[in-house]
Structure 1
Amino acid sequence: MRRLLLAGLAAFTALPALAAAPAAPLDLETIMANPDWIGHAVESPYWSVDGRAIYYRLKRDGSEVRDLYRVDPAEGRSVKLDPAARAQADGPAVYDRHHRYAAFVRHGDVFLRTLADGRTVQVTQTAVEESAPQFSADGRALQFRAGEDWYSYDLARGVSAPVAVLKFEDDPQAKPTDALEDEQLELFSTLRRLEADKEAARADAKALAAADPGRMPEPFWLGDKIVAVDTELSPDGRWLLLVTRPKSYDAGRHPKVTHYVSDSGYAEGEDTRVYVGRNPPATQSLLLLDLREHKRYDLPIDGLPGIEDDPLATLRAQTVAALKKAGKADQAKALQAPKLRPVRIVSDAEDGGGGGIVWSEDGRNLAIQLRAIDNKDRWIASVDFARHALVPQHRLHDEAWINWNFNDLGWLKDGRTLWYLSEESGFSQLYLKPLDGKAKALTAGRFEVSHPQLSEDGRWFYLRANRTAPYSYDVYRVPSSGGELTRVTQYQGMDEFALSPDGERLWVLHSSPYMLSQLAVQPAAGGTPRELTNTMKPAFAAHDWIQPRIVQVPSSHGAGTIYAKYYGPADEGATLRPAVLFVHGAGYTQNVDLSWTYYFREQMFHNLLVQKGYVVLDMDYRASEGYGRDWRTAIYRQMGHPELEDLLDGKAWLVRNHHVDPKRVGIYGGSYGGFMTEMALLRAPGEFAAGAALRPVSDWRLYNHEYTSNILNAPQLDPQAYETSSPIYYADKLADPLLIEHGLIDDNVLAEDSIRLYQRFIELHKKNFWMSLYPMERHGFVHADSWYDEYRRIDELFDTYVKPAR
């Protein structure tokens, strides 16, 4: 079995050599200790304004504080900045179109720098956090936002002013619309004179505002029925787009978690997110404000292709018929499909980055990504400003659900050609589309591309891709005019990257299974990288860790190849061994790759298990990221079923190839992995000797709407999918030892999920099930004592029920 030390890959030879040390036996206390002993990942790097340095952050030992560092890419020397230096540090910068100025946010305020002489001006000094600086299309102003309000800083006058005053209330001076008010004006001349005076004052104020740019703009009275979700200002300063939702929207009843160990000494309740299907997400609307003419226009969605369709019509009819037959007419009526499907605007927070609203650099064109709340369609539309209408440019439809990743969108430098990512081929690829032309693919193949960045000169797209193998990621580039996709980096475990301001270099964050993300710089066209950081601690780096071997497990259910990580001894021998299957969380994530793993504690635990005589298999079962649309959506309406087929194939593969005793196989995992552990024991009793389910979902009706409704639809509409997919409905099948572990203040998967299943086991008179609750832990544990206790119990479970020979 090959082993991996920190400097084991040729690309890392620029790192200082680490002295080898004899391998010491692993123990749980060390593995589950505060991870400061391992080292710290390089976080949030960005180029300095002049491109001569790179800033990055590192966690401080014994604290959650992140320190700021600056490294010179030419010399490779990092400097930790003291508070005085941090107060003068650059932030991530934006530039005007002619590269005369740069702007950035530092400690919540906006700064402007003249690139010719380095002169820096503080534009704001407020208690409000400003963000999103951008230069106007003509280069005369710097625009930025505070909350949902936008401001413009005139570079010549040195004055900031709001670009619009938004009032979410009715205009108190609006002309009367009530019949009684009209009658009053007809009857009384004095009232007419007073009204005429008000109108004259309004007209005078409007004329002065138009003639004097130094005056506050006239308010937009938007009514009291809506609130702003997002606002985006055009670079030419002419238009402001608002995303709104009804003010009256109610998300539904919030369940609570209880803090039993609190500062006050009293048990304290805390509201959490609502359950799936209680109230669907608020539908969003688009409002376009003409700031020059002071007019507002609604942007209706009725022209989007398929917006009047009901992709769930067949399922809806079946459910409605069943409800009516059961005498539940009110529930059946509530499932009636709306005439126009409600939508929301694609956002960074919910849809994997890229943003849903993009202006061209000159401000003359606007593209908006909209997503159906039923999760079946994503639209890209441009805006016709003359007709104040959306113009459909692209529709992505999926019978299962649209991915929350791969929603990046932008404009080429011509401001007339869109670029976007789409899974329409089955894999995320990059496309171009002129506003009045047909789309064409810039990349194609059975691999995924993501995080596209257009070079400053507009000639190249740089992107992340797993072209050589599903588990191997690097930076690639492709000409924006079309051409060959070329590999730029050679890490195989590339995490993030960014182009320098001049477009000549890349900083790259890269990692490996036992090396946290490190920073390097290299030519943008490809070439030898220069390693800039080495933040691993000697005790961890010197250990003789087992290199996970990436293996291909054949599917017996027609799914093709299931990629997995295998951990085993160098010399397996012929003796039958016990085995453990680890199941990663999140469902849609990728753990079989060549990067540092989110499950680094589990990976060390796997080393410990091998030391104790086990072998371990960690599989990217169906639903995992990195393998295309069909792999992702195989679980639609049947969570826990294709994945279990894959896990059982993994067990069979171990038995065939690694001398594993089929009666001595354990299984464990957290979150989605905990859910799958429960599904494995309850749907395939006798296949696993024991299982440990950490923070598991036991009933999908209790999970959140954004994740769950994608895969299972709403529970009122598709109750069968929830019963098919929830372990609690298989509780009567429990026959094998099950350990459940859950944080009591988990606000993601609530502890009540596990407690309800535990109660079912009690009522069913089941045996050999246990639950361990952690009063001060949320979904992701943070306290070393809890981590140790959690894995001590798992270790004891496996040693008791899996390891002994039968």
Structure 2
Amino acid sequence: MYKILLTIAFVGFHLSYAQQASLTVERIMRDPKWIGSSPERVHWDINGTLYFTWNPEAEEAASLYRVTAADRTPRKINPRKEQGIIDQYTYDKTRRRAVFERHGDIYLYELKTGQEVRLTNTVLRESNPQFSSDGKHIIFQQGDNLFQLGLEQYDWVQLSNFTRNGRTRGEPSENLSPQNQWLQDDQLELFNVLTQRNRKDSIRRARQQEIDVRGLKQLEIGDDILSMQQLSPNRRYITYRLTQRAEGNKNTIVPNYVTESGYTEDIPARTKVGSALPVSRTFVYDRQRDTVYRVDTKTIPGIRDLPDFWDDYPTRKRELQEENKDRQVTIGQVNWNEAGTAACVVVTAADNKDRWIMRLNPENGSLHLIDRQRDEAWIAGPGIGGSWGGGNIGWIDEETIYFQSEASGYSHLYTANVHTGQRQQLTHGNWEVSNLQLSADKSHFFFTGNAKHPGITHFYSIPVKGGTATQLTSMDGGNEVTLSPDEKWLAIRYSYSNKPWELYLQENKPGANAEKITASLTDEFNAYAWREPEVISFKNRFGDDVYARLYQPDKPKRGRPAVIFVHGAGYLQNVHYWWSQYYREYMFHNLLVDLGYTVLDIDYTGSAGYGRDHRTGIYRHMGGKDLSDHVDGANLLAEKYGVNPENIGIYGGSYGGFITLMAMFNEPEVFAAGAALRSVTDWAHYNHGYTSNILNEPTTDPIAYKRSSPIYFAEGLTGHLLMCHGMVDVNVHFQDIVRLSQRLIELGKDNWELAVYPVEDHGFLEPSSWTDEYKRILKLFEERLNN
């Protein structure tokens, strides 16, 4: 009898285990804590202790943990002790001292003794502390102005005197009328918080008056936005930027219907592409000569060059040629060498076609070319920045800078002499450099690269003079490395295709063992045999290599259907050997394969990780090569993998939703069904920063917008379309899908449906919303891909 009971219990255990291991939409789309909590926000403090946020106990919120090289067991940190962690700091030249900001005050830290000295204690915030080149002073910012604090006498010296319409910011305005004075006095009497703030302002003004500003030139900024105030290392020059606000723009509004108040509330949102841009100018204040002058951009080589797209608009091109105006440009942060004898800046064109690296002559504000990168599509790529920022740039010695460029077709590392312009390319090949940093002794660089395979990243070092790069990590997959302050240790966040991120610790030596620090996955997650998708490549119709993830079922479903997934963001990589940020979709693909579907996930033209040509292949035609790559992928499935070409579906979110719409409207004979999630339907209604890079502006390049926006092709819908959208989406507005719905109604289409999610933004948060959305997607494919 005992043996019978034991056998029944054993069988029951395995039946329960099998049931637990099977996938459902409800199981996949629960709170992600059921998977486990991977370590995040990995950083070192100044003493070489490694910190990270983690939630192995599935609590309401993650906690801070720490490990050291000596004690590698994760220890939870008391939240009250977190404020003492120093993780953002600046060294002096000797690397024996560091300066940092904590709660708006400046502190000095002695690394050898661990002694911490508070240098400021004011009601205002002091920020951006730096050592002077001689190490005897701390330079910092308080309000708009720069100050100098001596480390021997602890004397304060104000270095700049920025004024707004003749007044230092924070000074009281002109005398109030009796009525307005009464209102102000009444407010102060009623509200204690205002009284306290008024007292603090009085204290601040009194302390400000103790600092002698006599003889300091007033630097008038008017109504402009002041930014990038910076003192040269030799303390002679102050550089700064003034930005004039754009006028005449209209911001969008996103209505929020499900609110605590019970009333519809408006969420202020962004402008749309083509809105007026702010205009900035950069200035130099020579403290020695007590004079201010603007940095001169008129001599920048090619500043009047017109982009090639104007060839499609010959009349307007002739008008622009006759006007012969300088293009609008923006000057980034001034980068000084240690001695303060030379400076360089990154200048970017507002039309996104040029990036210049220029040497700045601070004596007269003139600019001299070091490197120009022009792209008739748009400037971008890892470490380059383009319109998004200045990218990686810094000094190796007093005459040599380093930077990244796509001049070879891939983002690589270069050095250049700032006086002669002589360049040297340090890394080479059909792969990309990212996360670049110079070693503390400036003898070599550290960087992440995908040299081994486009979908595998490793951490490397290379001498600053050039040579062979040394691979420091050894686990194939995704390696996100954070280097310790003494550069002896690598904190590695590592994952593989079917294994989420974990934290490892490794000595900074090639071939060293990487020790696993965290174990984050739950037993429930590990109970299922998650597939490792096959990474394949195929030639598209243009002869380009396109990479894809392929999931194949052991027992294909009747009708041999397939689903193609389109990742979002456009410029993003999802075909790789590390854990996907689309982890819900990855799990859903495992479910589809369990049900007998073949699944293909393509890094289409425009995706990251494959160099400049792949990145810019969608210029002026989104829904062109990126869409045809999916059509070619569908043909591959039919020709090579036995898929029924009549039963192919497609789905994706954001940019993936946009491609899904273009596929359903323009390739109806290829795709029988599609699910478009949070989709852009008309690029003229998206934001400026992203869209103007790829399509220019609607008023200057309407051809690009008309051939790239799904709303103009809706009449082509013949298959079955599901659209899903969050109603409080402040990225791709709900208005997008409403406009397309009206278009489909007017066209008399009846083979579509719209599911709305009243409380969801662009990225869904509620498990119930994820579950509802993906149950609808699965239902669509189950009903429409089984011929």
Is the 2:156–2:211 contact (alpha carbons within 8 Å) kept by the matching residues of 1?
Answer: no
Distance 1:39 1:747 in 2: 29
1:270 counterpart SS class: strand
**How far apart are 1:436 and its partner, in Å?**
2.0
1:320 counterpart SS class: helix
2:707 counterpart SS class: helix
Match of 1:117 in 2: 113
Q: Which amino acid aligns with 2:547?
A: Y
Residues 1:753 and 2:751 aligned together = no
Is the 1:563–1:620 contact (alpha carbons within 8 Å) kept by the matching residues of 2?
Answer: yes
1:725 counterpart SS class: coil
Residues 1:380 and 2:377 aligned together = no
Distance 2:218 2:65 in 1: 45
Out of 391, 400, 423, the position equivalent to 2:377 is 400
Match of 1:226 in 2: 224
Q: Which amino acid aligns with 1:275?
A: K
Mean Cα deviation higher: 574-583 or 382-391: 574-583
Match of 2:613 in 1: 630
Out of 442, 462, 472, the position equivalent to 1:478 is 462
Match of 1:445 in 2: 429
Distance 1:133 1:516 in 2: 38
Cα 1:30/1:168, change in 2 over 3 Å: same
**How far apart are 1:237 and its partner, in Å?**
3.2
Mean Cα deviation higher: 127-136 or 774-783: 127-136
Q: Give unmatched runs, 5+ long, in structure 2.
A: 1-15, 169-209, 385-390
Distance 2:256 2:701 in 1: 34
Q: Give unmatched runs, 5+ long, in structure 1.
A: 1-19, 173-211, 322-331, 347-355
Match of 1:84 in 2: 80
Q: Which amino acid aligns with 1:628?
A: G
Residues 1:667 and 2:677 aligned together = no
**How far apart are 1:459 and its partner, in Å?**
1.0
**How far apart are 1:296 and its partner, in Å?**
1.4
* Per-residue Cα deviation, 1:175-224 (whole angstroms, up to 9, x for no partner): xxxxxxxxxxxxxxxxxxxxxxxxxxxxxxxxxxxxx9976772533242
Match of 1:200 in 2: none
* Per-residue Cα deviation, 1:107-133 (whole angstroms, up to 9, x for no partner): 554332112211112334566665433
Is the 1:361–1:413 contact (alpha carbons within 8 Å) kept by the matching residues of 2?
Answer: no
Distance 1:292 1:463 in 2: 40
Q: Which amino acid aligns with 1:389?
A: S
TM-score when scaled to structure 2? 0.87
* Per-residue Cα deviation, 1:518-572 (whole angstroms, up to 9, x for no partner): 322323232222222223333223431011111112213322x210011123x35
Q: How does 1:247-286 map to 2 (within 5 A)?
A: 247=245, 249-250=246-247, 252-279=249-276, 281-286=277-282
Is the 1:358–1:409 contact (alpha carbons within 8 Å) kept by the matching residues of 2?
Answer: no
Match of 1:698 in 2: 681
Residues 1:359 and 2:336 aligned together = yes
Distance 2:635 2:126 in 1: 57
Cα 1:217/1:568, change in 2 over 3 Å: farther
1:661 counterpart SS class: coil
**How far apart are 1:361 and its partner, in Å?**
2.7
Q: How does 1:2-13 map to 2 (within 5 A)?
A: none
Q: How does 1:659-738 map to 2 (within 5 A)?
A: 659-738=642-721
Distance 1:525 1:368 in 2: 35
Distance 2:122 2:522 in 1: 41
Match of 1:184 in 2: none
**How far apart are 1:585 and its partner, in Å?**
0.4
Is the 2:568–2:656 contact (alpha carbons within 8 Å) kept by the matching residues of 1?
Answer: yes
Out of 577, 581, 595, the position equivalent to 1:612 is 595
Out of 417, 425, 436, the position equivalent to 2:400 is 417
Residues 1:603 and 2:580 aligned together = no
Q: How does 1:25-174 map to 2 (within 5 A)?
A: 25-51=22-48, 53-58=49-54, 65-125=61-121, 130-145=126-141, 149-159=145-155, 162-170=158-166
**How far apart are 1:303 and its partner, in Å?**
1.5
Distance 1:146 1:746 in 2: 37
**How far apart are 1:454 and its partner, in Å?**
0.7
Q: How does 1:427-576 map to 2 (within 5 A)?
A: 427-437=410-420, 438-526=422-510, 527-559=512-544, 561-569=545-553, 571-572=554-555, 576=559
Distance 1:452 1:507 in 2: 16
2:335 counterpart SS class: strand
Out of 585, 600, 604, the position equivalent to 2:568 is 585
Cα 1:484/1:547, change in 2 over 3 Å: same
Is the 2:257–2:263 contact (alpha carbons within 8 Å) kept by the matching residues of 1?
Answer: yes
Q: Which of the pair has the greater relative contact order for Cα pairs under 8 Å at 6+ separation?
A: 1
**How far apart are 1:34 and its partner, in Å?**
1.1
Distance 2:505 2:215 in 1: 47
**How far apart are 1:366 and its partner, in Å?**
1.9
Cα 1:258/1:596, change in 2 over 3 Å: same
Residues 1:657 and 2:655 aligned together = no
Match of 2:183 in 1: none
Distance 1:590 1:147 in 2: 41
Q: Percent of aligned pairs with the same residue?
A: 38
Match of 1:344 in 2: 330
**How far apart are 1:717 and its partner, in Å?**
0.8
State how many pairs are aligned. Answer: 722
Distance 1:81 1:504 in 2: 24
**How far apart are 1:159 and its partner, in Å?**
4.9
Q: Which amino acid aligns with 2:536?
A: V
**How far apart are 1:718 and its partner, in Å?**
0.7
Q: Which amino acid aligns with 1:783?
A: E
Distance 2:724 2:157 in 1: 55
Mean Cα deviation higher: 28-37 or 573-582: 573-582
**How far apart are 1:391 and its partner, in Å?**
1.7
Is the 1:133–1:145 contact (alpha carbons within 8 Å) kept by the matching residues of 2?
Answer: yes
Is the 1:522–1:530 contact (alpha carbons within 8 Å) kept by the matching residues of 2?
Answer: yes
Distance 2:481 2:323 in 1: 44
Match of 2:294 in 1: 298
Distance 1:217 1:548 in 2: 70
Distance 1:131 1:24 in 2: 53
Distance 1:148 1:629 in 2: 40
Cα 1:568/1:450, change in 2 over 3 Å: same
Distance 1:138 1:65 in 2: 45
Is the 2:556–2:598 contact (alpha carbons within 8 Å) kept by the matching residues of 1?
Answer: no
Residues 1:639 and 2:615 aligned together = no
Is the 1:693–1:739 contact (alpha carbons within 8 Å) kept by the matching residues of 2?
Answer: yes
Q: Which amino acid aligns with 2:218?
A: F
Residues 1:782 and 2:768 aligned together = no
2:431 counterpart SS class: coil
Cα 1:694/1:63, change in 2 over 3 Å: farther
Match of 1:242 in 2: 240
Distance 2:279 2:529 in 1: 54
Cα 1:786/1:519, change in 2 over 3 Å: same
* Per-residue Cα deviation, 1:669-721 (whole angstroms, up to 9, x for no partner): 00000000000010111211110000111100001111111111111111011
TM-score when scaled to structure 1? 0.85
CA RMSD of aligned residues (A): 2.6
Distance 2:40 2:141 in 1: 25
Distance 2:464 2:458 in 1: 19
Mean Cα deviation higher: 480-489 or 575-584: 575-584
2:546 counterpart SS class: strand
* Per-residue Cα deviation, 1:721-761 (whole angstroms, up to 9, x for no partner): 10100000001111111111111111111111111011000
